[in-house]
Amino acid sequence: MGPLYQDRSDAGRALAEKLVHHANDPSALVLALPRGGVPVAFEIARALNAPLDIFVVRKLGVPGYEELAMGAVASGGVRVLNEELIHRLNVPPSAIDAVSQEEAQELERCERAFRGAREPASIRGRTVILVDDGLATGASMRAAIRALRQCEPAYLTVAVPIGSKDTCDQFRAEVDELICGDTPEPFFAVGTWYANFLPISDEEVRHLLDHAAHKRRVRRVQEQRTMAHP
Protein backbone atom coordinates (compact mmCIF):
# COMPACT_ATOMS: atom_id res chain seq x y z
CA MET A 1 0.00 0.00 0.00
CA GLY A 2 1.32 3.44 -0.96
CA PRO A 3 1.00 6.80 0.81
CA LEU A 4 -2.49 7.84 1.85
CA TYR A 5 -1.75 11.59 1.82
CA GLN A 6 0.28 13.81 -0.46
CA ASP A 7 1.44 16.00 2.42
CA ARG A 8 0.23 17.35 5.77
CA SER A 9 -2.03 19.95 4.13
CA ASP A 10 -3.73 17.23 2.10
CA ALA A 11 -4.19 15.22 5.31
CA GLY A 12 -5.69 18.27 7.05
CA ARG A 13 -8.28 18.79 4.31
CA ALA A 14 -9.30 15.13 4.51
CA LEU A 15 -9.49 15.22 8.31
CA ALA A 16 -11.57 18.42 8.27
CA GLU A 17 -14.36 16.51 6.51
CA LYS A 18 -14.68 14.31 9.60
CA LEU A 19 -14.97 17.37 11.86
CA VAL A 20 -17.71 19.31 10.06
CA HIS A 21 -20.02 18.96 13.09
CA HIS A 22 -17.77 21.55 14.78
CA ALA A 23 -18.03 24.08 11.92
CA ASN A 24 -18.95 27.65 12.92
CA ASP A 25 -19.03 26.74 16.62
CA PRO A 26 -18.11 30.00 18.40
CA SER A 27 -16.52 28.06 21.26
CA ALA A 28 -14.29 25.93 19.00
CA LEU A 29 -10.51 26.31 19.09
CA VAL A 30 -8.07 24.29 16.98
CA LEU A 31 -4.77 23.60 18.75
CA ALA A 32 -1.80 22.13 16.88
CA LEU A 33 1.12 20.19 18.33
CA PRO A 34 4.10 21.82 16.61
CA ARG A 35 5.69 21.44 14.33
CA GLY A 36 4.13 18.67 12.24
CA GLY A 37 0.60 19.22 13.47
CA VAL A 38 0.45 22.84 12.33
CA PRO A 39 -0.14 22.40 8.55
CA VAL A 40 -2.80 19.76 9.35
CA ALA A 41 -4.51 22.02 11.90
CA PHE A 42 -4.33 25.05 9.59
CA GLU A 43 -6.58 23.33 7.03
CA ILE A 44 -8.98 22.18 9.76
CA ALA A 45 -9.25 25.66 11.30
CA ARG A 46 -9.91 27.18 7.87
CA ALA A 47 -12.62 24.62 7.04
CA LEU A 48 -14.35 24.96 10.43
CA ASN A 49 -14.08 28.76 10.64
CA ALA A 50 -12.26 28.38 13.96
CA PRO A 51 -9.20 30.12 15.43
CA LEU A 52 -5.84 28.33 15.29
CA ASP A 53 -3.15 28.25 17.95
CA ILE A 54 -0.33 25.97 19.08
CA PHE A 55 0.03 23.87 22.22
CA VAL A 56 3.69 23.24 22.98
CA VAL A 57 4.70 20.27 25.14
CA ARG A 58 8.21 19.58 26.43
CA LYS A 59 9.09 16.24 28.02
CA LEU A 60 10.78 16.24 31.43
CA GLY A 61 13.46 13.58 31.21
CA VAL A 62 14.79 11.80 34.31
CA PRO A 63 18.35 13.12 34.96
CA GLY A 64 20.79 10.57 33.57
CA TYR A 65 17.97 8.69 31.81
CA GLU A 66 16.59 11.48 29.63
CA GLU A 67 14.60 9.11 27.42
CA LEU A 68 12.44 8.30 30.47
CA ALA A 69 9.71 10.92 30.89
CA MET A 70 8.93 11.82 34.49
CA GLY A 71 6.45 14.44 33.29
CA ALA A 72 6.01 17.35 30.94
CA VAL A 73 5.59 21.11 30.82
CA ALA A 74 3.17 22.70 28.38
CA SER A 75 1.81 26.00 27.11
CA GLY A 76 0.14 28.14 29.76
CA GLY A 77 2.63 27.29 32.51
CA VAL A 78 1.18 23.81 33.01
CA ARG A 79 3.30 21.02 34.53
CA VAL A 80 2.25 17.38 34.88
CA LEU A 81 4.34 14.80 36.75
CA ASN A 82 4.47 11.02 36.77
CA GLU A 83 4.47 10.71 40.55
CA GLU A 84 4.73 6.92 40.50
CA LEU A 85 7.92 6.97 38.39
CA ILE A 86 9.42 9.82 40.43
CA HIS A 87 8.79 7.92 43.67
CA ARG A 88 10.13 4.63 42.26
CA LEU A 89 13.37 6.25 41.06
CA ASN A 90 13.60 8.51 44.13
CA VAL A 91 14.10 11.66 42.01
CA PRO A 92 14.65 14.60 44.38
CA PRO A 93 12.42 17.71 44.11
CA SER A 94 15.47 19.87 43.32
CA ALA A 95 16.22 17.76 40.22
CA ILE A 96 12.58 17.93 39.09
CA ASP A 97 12.60 21.72 39.49
CA ALA A 98 15.90 22.09 37.61
CA VAL A 99 14.71 20.05 34.64
CA SER A 100 11.33 21.81 34.71
CA GLN A 101 12.97 25.24 34.63
CA GLU A 102 15.24 24.28 31.73
CA GLU A 103 12.39 22.85 29.66
CA ALA A 104 10.09 25.78 30.53
CA GLN A 105 12.71 28.16 29.12
CA GLU A 106 12.94 26.12 25.92
CA LEU A 107 9.13 26.06 25.73
CA GLU A 108 9.01 29.86 26.00
CA ARG A 109 11.64 30.14 23.25
CA CYS A 110 9.56 27.88 21.00
CA GLU A 111 6.39 29.84 21.66
CA ARG A 112 8.12 33.17 20.86
CA ALA A 113 9.54 31.66 17.67
CA PHE A 114 6.17 30.29 16.60
CA ARG A 115 3.68 32.88 17.86
CA GLY A 116 5.74 36.09 18.09
CA ALA A 117 4.05 38.75 20.22
CA ARG A 118 0.54 37.38 19.73
CA GLU A 119 -1.25 36.35 22.92
CA PRO A 120 -2.11 32.64 23.33
CA ALA A 121 -5.73 31.66 22.89
CA SER A 122 -7.88 31.12 25.98
CA ILE A 123 -8.72 27.44 26.54
CA ARG A 124 -11.03 27.34 29.57
CA GLY A 125 -14.64 26.48 28.74
CA ARG A 126 -13.99 25.96 25.02
CA THR A 127 -14.40 23.09 22.60
CA VAL A 128 -10.76 22.25 21.88
CA ILE A 129 -9.69 20.22 18.83
CA LEU A 130 -6.13 19.02 19.44
CA VAL A 131 -4.34 18.07 16.21
CA ASP A 132 -1.13 16.28 15.23
CA ASP A 133 0.06 14.74 11.96
CA GLY A 134 -0.21 11.20 13.34
CA LEU A 135 -0.25 8.89 16.36
CA ALA A 136 2.44 6.24 16.73
CA THR A 137 3.26 5.62 20.41
CA GLY A 138 1.16 8.64 21.43
CA ALA A 139 3.61 9.80 24.13
CA SER A 140 3.52 13.49 23.14
CA MET A 141 -0.25 13.47 22.66
CA ARG A 142 -0.81 11.81 26.05
CA ALA A 143 1.29 14.50 27.75
CA ALA A 144 -0.62 17.20 25.85
CA ILE A 145 -3.99 15.77 26.91
CA ARG A 146 -2.99 15.62 30.57
CA ALA A 147 -1.71 19.19 30.42
CA LEU A 148 -4.75 20.47 28.52
CA ARG A 149 -7.13 18.99 31.08
CA GLN A 150 -5.59 21.34 33.65
CA CYS A 151 -6.62 24.26 31.42
CA GLU A 152 -10.28 23.18 31.82
CA PRO A 153 -11.66 22.94 28.27
CA ALA A 154 -15.38 22.17 28.14
CA TYR A 155 -14.89 19.47 25.50
CA LEU A 156 -11.71 17.88 24.15
CA THR A 157 -11.38 16.30 20.71
CA VAL A 158 -8.16 14.69 19.48
CA ALA A 159 -7.89 14.56 15.68
CA VAL A 160 -5.14 12.91 13.63
CA PRO A 161 -5.10 11.86 9.95
CA ILE A 162 -3.27 8.59 10.61
CA GLY A 163 -2.59 6.41 13.61
CA SER A 164 -1.75 3.02 14.99
CA LYS A 165 -5.05 1.25 15.70
CA ASP A 166 -3.88 0.13 19.14
CA THR A 167 -2.78 3.65 20.11
CA CYS A 168 -5.98 5.25 18.82
CA ASP A 169 -8.05 2.70 20.75
CA GLN A 170 -6.13 3.52 23.96
CA PHE A 171 -6.95 7.22 23.60
CA ARG A 172 -10.72 6.83 23.25
CA ALA A 173 -11.22 6.71 27.00
CA GLU A 174 -8.98 9.75 27.61
CA VAL A 175 -10.85 12.35 25.55
CA ASP A 176 -14.43 13.34 24.75
CA GLU A 177 -13.99 12.58 21.05
CA LEU A 178 -11.29 10.87 19.00
CA ILE A 179 -11.09 11.27 15.23
CA CYS A 180 -8.45 9.03 13.67
CA GLY A 181 -8.63 9.32 9.88
CA ASP A 182 -6.99 6.01 8.96
CA THR A 183 -5.57 3.13 11.01
CA PRO A 184 -3.68 0.96 8.49
CA GLU A 185 -2.21 -2.36 9.57
CA PRO A 186 0.67 -2.99 9.77
CA PHE A 187 1.29 0.61 10.79
CA PHE A 188 5.11 1.03 10.52
CA ALA A 189 5.54 4.78 11.15
CA VAL A 190 3.57 8.01 10.63
CA GLY A 191 5.80 9.21 7.79
CA THR A 192 5.20 6.00 5.82
CA TRP A 193 1.72 7.24 4.89
CA TYR A 194 2.78 10.62 3.49
CA ALA A 195 4.35 11.14 0.05
CA ASN A 196 5.95 14.32 1.45
CA PHE A 197 6.87 14.17 5.16
CA LEU A 198 9.65 16.76 5.22
CA PRO A 199 10.35 18.53 8.54
CA ILE A 200 8.43 21.75 9.20
CA SER A 201 10.53 24.82 10.00
CA ASP A 202 9.88 27.48 12.63
CA GLU A 203 9.29 29.93 9.78
CA GLU A 204 6.59 27.74 8.23
CA VAL A 205 4.82 27.43 11.59
CA ARG A 206 4.94 31.20 12.11
CA HIS A 207 3.69 31.87 8.57
CA LEU A 208 0.70 29.51 8.97
CA LEU A 209 -0.27 30.98 12.36
CA ASP A 210 0.02 34.53 10.99
CA HIS A 211 -1.96 33.61 7.88
CA ALA A 212 -4.71 31.95 9.95
CA ALA A 213 -4.99 35.00 12.23
CA HIS A 214 -5.17 37.33 9.20
CA LYS A 215 -7.88 35.20 7.57
CA ARG A 216 -9.90 35.31 10.80
CA ARG A 217 -9.65 39.11 10.97
CA VAL A 218 -10.74 39.48 7.33
CA ARG A 219 -13.68 37.12 7.82
CA ARG A 220 -14.84 38.98 10.95
CA VAL A 221 -14.78 42.31 9.10
CA GLN A 222 -16.79 40.81 6.23
CA GLU A 223 -19.33 39.36 8.66
CA GLN A 224 -19.69 42.70 10.46
CA ARG A 225 -20.26 44.50 7.15
CA THR A 226 -22.90 41.92 6.16
CA MET A 227 -24.71 42.43 9.46
CA ALA A 228 -24.55 46.22 9.11
CA HIS A 229 -25.80 46.13 5.49
CA PRO A 230 -27.95 43.01 5.08
Q: How confident is the model at residue 220 (pLDDT cuts 50, 70, 90)?
A: confident
Residue type, 23: A
Contact of 150 with 172, CB cutoff 8 Å: no
Query: Above 70 in pLDDT, residue 109?
Result: yes
Cα–Cα distance between 161 and 63 in angstroms, integer? Answer: 34
Query: Above 80 in pLDDT, residue 26?
Result: yes
Is this prediction's pTM over 0.95? no
Cα–Cα distance between 122 and 76 in angstroms, integer? Answer: 9
Mean of pLDDT values over 39-65? 95
Taking only the tens place, the pLDDT of each residue in 65-85 is 888 889 999 988 889 899 999
Taking only the tens place, the pLDDT of each residue in 173-208 is 999 999 999 999 999 899 999 999 999 999 999 999
Q: Is the sign of the CA dihedral 139, 141, 147, 152 positive or negative?
A: negative
Query: Above 80 in pLDDT, residue 40?
Result: yes
Mean of pLDDT values over 17-37? 96
Q: How confident is the model at residue 98 (pLDDT cuts 50, 70, 90)?
A: very high
Query: Above 80 in pLDDT, residue 222?
Result: no
> Residue 93: is the preceding peptide bond cis (ω within 30°)?
no
pLDDT confidence of residue 78 = 87
pLDDT confidence of residue 51 = 95
Percentage of residues in the chain having pLDDT higher than 70:
99
Which CATH number is 8-57+115-228 given? 3.40.50.2020
Strand pairing report for 177-182 and 155-162: parallel
pLDDT confidence of residue 230 = 63
